[in-house]
């Protein structure tokens, strides 16, 4: 069964950085998929924060633009989310979603991806 696996979460102080990774298993490349990163804080809905399309176009939520960067390493078949200048409001469980049935050249920040990982906890606190 296809799964996505996120890694790289943890506890960081405000102003710090983390890099999340998303990889497909069993050994399924993400290079041909739209990938979205989402986060969910306690008691809140899942929020789209960044995505990258199969053509490499990217999009960001206003709350993270300029601080987060999404990228794709085609050799490692992995999508990364570099998070800088982290704030306590960035705390939550971070999920990656994948869509291989490409109907549009643009990725989306809506949580409509059919495949999801189990999530990685990110806590920003002093």
pLDDT digits (tens, 9 = 90+) for 51-82: 999 999 999 999 999 999 999 998 888 999 99
Q: Detail the DSSP E strand segments found in 44-85.
A: 47-52, 58-60, 68-73, 78-83
CA gap 123, 121 in Å, rounded: 6
pLDDT per residue as tens digits for the range 4-52: 999 999 999 999 999 999 998 776 788 889 999 999 998 999 999 999 9
The answer to whether residue 3 scores a pLDDT higher than 80 is no
Strand partners, 12: 124
C-alpha gyration radius of the chain? 13
């Amino acid at each position: 069964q296809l799964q996505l696996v996120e890694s790289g979460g943890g506890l960081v102080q405000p102003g710090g950085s983390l890099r999340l990774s998303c990889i497909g298993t069993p050994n399924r490349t993400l290079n041909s998929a739209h990938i979205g990163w989402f986060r969910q804080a306690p008691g809140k809905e899942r929020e789209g924060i960044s995505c990258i399309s199969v053509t490499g176009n990217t999009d960001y939520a206003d709350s993270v633009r300029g601080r987060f960067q999404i990228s794709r390493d085609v050799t490692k078949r992995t999508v990364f989310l570099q998070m800088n200048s982290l704030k306590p409001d960035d705390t939550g469980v971070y999920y990656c979603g994948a869509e291989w049935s490409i109907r549009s050249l643009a990725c989306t920040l809506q949580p409509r991806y059919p495949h999801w990982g189990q999530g990685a906890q990110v806590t920003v606190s002093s």
